[in-house]
Amino acid sequence: MVSTLHVHDLILLRTESAVISTQSDSACPCLNPNQRPWVVVRRGRISGGLIPVGVRGAQRHERCAGFTRLSDVAEALRPDQLRLRLAEDSRRLLPAFRTLSYLESRLVGLDMSWGPGGSLGYELASGIPAVHADSDLDLILFAPKQLDITEAQNLWRMISSAPGKVDALAETPCCGFSLEEFATTSHRKILLRTSEGRVLGSNPWSLSNGEDN
Amino acid sequence: MEKIEFNYPEAKRLITKRAHVGVVGSGDMEVLLEPNSEEGAHVFITTSVNGFGDAWRSVFDRFFSKFDGAVRIYINDAGATPGSVLLRLEQAVEVIEQ
């Protein structure tokens, strides 16, 4: 059922002991044994059958990084699937959820797959409250084909007109990047988040060393 | 939310340009780098993640071991990793030294 996983996917593990901590002191405190073990796929290379995952605790400082095995994944949800899930009634008035429903109405014709990440994605997947009154909306946009600058600017203009702050990350087959930075910067290079780490580059759809062409 | 400041009095080289790079988004930060009217460099950080003063100190110690410009640096941080902080600082320096 779970054949391919990508960064930002929320996954439900079969057991909370399925997270292998990257910290030798096993200080990964976060998975609450009373809650179902949902974790997020981190950016990084999947190798040796190990998937890099992030664990979200109740507090920001309780986040930690680890790995899990594909065979321990019970269920996986992509951001565009999470978008279609409804928050609990009592949570829908939180600014970040209102911003999401505003964008749902404005991005109807968008020829891209998109959805929430961050605390919203986590809450929509798990049902565990994670969004706060001051949470931004982390938005993931999948851009397998190159966006030209005008398209990106129009998209960012629409997204940034939302009532709350939106942190929009575009994902290409090579990397992730900030839509705001791509659309508004006057510099040639932007920050590209690759599975090998972060670099400055000019083309998020083609990572090469020939940046200065 | 935490505010942190550092001073690097040995950074005295005259700088004439300013740079504004980065964005305030998850795991990233915005940097404004501008000439300082006095000698020395001053760093003003506003970060959404508390308790990393020592990590910021070591990043800036490393940065000012190579960069000697008399600048004011304003940082608006949303949880950038030390590696991203250095990338953004290098990018800002590239802009002012173009």
pLDDT, mean of residues B23-52 = 95
The enclosing domain of B19 has a CATH number of 3.30.230
Would you say A69 and A50 are in contact if contact means Cβ atoms under 8 Å apart? Answer: yes
Residue A199 touches chain B, beta carbons under 8 Å: yes
> In the structure encoding, which two tokens stand for residue A58, read together?
């109740």
What is the structure's pLDDT at A87?
81
The enclosing domain of A7 has a CATH number of 2.30.30
Whether A93 and A164 map to the same domain: the answer is: yes
Mean confidence (pLDDT) of chain B:
95
- The Cα–Cα gap between A168 and A117 comes to 10
A113 residue type, one letter? S
Q: Residue B59 pLDDT more than 90?
A: yes
pLDDT, mean of residues B51-77 = 96
Whether A43 and A118 map to the same domain: the answer is: no
Residue B85 touches chain A, beta carbons under 8 Å: no
Whether A65 and A143 map to the same domain: the answer is: no
Whether A205 and A175 map to the same domain: the answer is: yes
What is the structure's pLDDT at A154?
96
Residue B96 touches chain A, beta carbons under 8 Å: no
* Rounded percentage of chain B residues whose pLDDT exceeds 70: 100
Which ranges of chain A would DSSP assign to H, the alpha helix? 79-82, 95-106, 118-126, 149-160, 179-184
Helix (H, G, I), strand (E, B) or coil at B55: helix
Which ranges of B1-98 would DSSP assign to H, the alpha helix? 53-64, 82-96
Range of the domain at B18: 2-96
**Domain end position, chosen among A43, A77, A111:** A77
Catalytic position from the list A25, A80, A111, A138 = A138
Residues in B closer than 8 angstroms to A168, CB to CB, are 25
**Domain end position, chosen among A77, A105, A127:** A77
Structural domain count of chain A: 2
Residues (pLDDT < 70) of chain A are 1-3, 23-30, 58-61, 209-213
Residue in B62, B89, B31, B65 with CA at minimum distance from that of residue A200: B89
Element (H, E) at A202: none
Q: Is A80 labeled as catalytic in the residue annotation?
A: no
Structural domain count of chain B: 1
What is the structure's pLDDT at A30?
66
Q: Is A72 labeled as catalytic in the residue annotation?
A: no
What is the structure's pLDDT at B83?
87
Whether A73 and A164 map to the same domain: the answer is: no
Q: What is the pLDDT of residues A141-150, one digit of tens each?
A: 999 999 999 9
What is the structure's pLDDT at A61?
65
Size of interface A-B (CB pairs under 8 A): 41
The predicted complex's ipTM stands at 0.88
Q: What is the pLDDT of residues A101-140, one digit of tens each?
A: 999 999 988 999 999 999 999 999 999 999 999 999 999 9
List A residues 153-182 in contact with B (Cβ-Cβ < 8 A).
Answer: 167-169, 178, 180-181
- Tokens 């986590």 locate to A122
**Domain end position, chosen among A15, A48, A77:** A77
Catalytic position from the list A89, A111, A136, A148 = A136
Here the contacts of A57-63 (C-beta below 8 Å, separation 24 or greater) are: A57/A29, A57/A30, A57/A32, A58/A30, A58/A32, A60/B49, A61/B51, A62/A29, A62/A30, A63/A30
Would you say A201 and A189 are in contact if contact means Cβ atoms under 8 Å apart? Answer: yes
What is the structure's pLDDT at A1?
47
pLDDT, mean of residues B62-84 = 95
Whether A139 and A208 map to the same domain: the answer is: yes
- The Cα–Cα gap between B2 and B18 comes to 25
Range of the domain at A188: 79-212
Mean confidence (pLDDT) of chain A:
89
Interface probe, candidates B2, B28, B84, chain A, greatest A C-beta count within 10 A:
B28
Residue A135 touches chain B, beta carbons under 8 Å: no
β-partners of residue B31 are B21, B75
Q: Do B87 and A189 touch (CB under 8 A)?
A: no
Per-position DSSP letters for A120-140, written without gaps between them: HHHHHHH------TTPPEEEE
Whether A43 and A125 map to the same domain: the answer is: no
